[in-house]
Amino acid sequence: MSTLSLSPAFTPAPARARSTVRLTRRGRLVVFLTALLVTLVVAIALAGGAVGTDSAGEQVPTETVTVAPGDTLWDIASGIAVDGDVRAAMTQIERLNALESASLAAGQKLRVPVVSD
């Protein structure tokens, strides 16, 4: 014969009393719209800082160069590089033409700064 005994050390936790406050559909809608409004205000506040200046930028005199087959951005930049700084010339050409990479296609027209001697 086997016996089963329960230990008196375990006592179940008392059930929590349910809150008497309930949100209706309208209440949930008000909470949602309030959260949405707060999020919108925070987004506008963070995006409000403009990155502009009062003065106009300085225009760089440029000329148009057509890319020949086999030309690279390095080749074109080395022809206009001042003091042998080809990387700076490459960066300037990329900015002038809004290039995302240094790859070029034959026949592509590029604006390059005019070399002043």
Chain segment 42-93, per-residue pLDDT in tens: 988 888 776 777 777 788 788 999 999 999 999 999 888 878 889 988 998 9
* pLDDT tens sequence across 29-55: 999 999 999 999 998 888 877 677 777
- Cβ 70 vs Cβ 108: under 8 Å: no
3-state class (DSSP) for residue 15: coil
Average pLDDT over residues 108-117: 84
The predicted pLDDT at position 54 comes to 75
Q: Any idea where the domains of the chain sit in the sequence?
A: 69-112
Please list, in sequence order, all residues whose beta carbon lies within 8 angstroms of the beta carbon of residue 104, skipping any fewer than 6 positions away.
67, 71, 72, 73, 76, 110
pLDDT tier at 5, thresholds 50, 70, 90: low
26: part of which helix (H) or strand (E)? helix 25-47
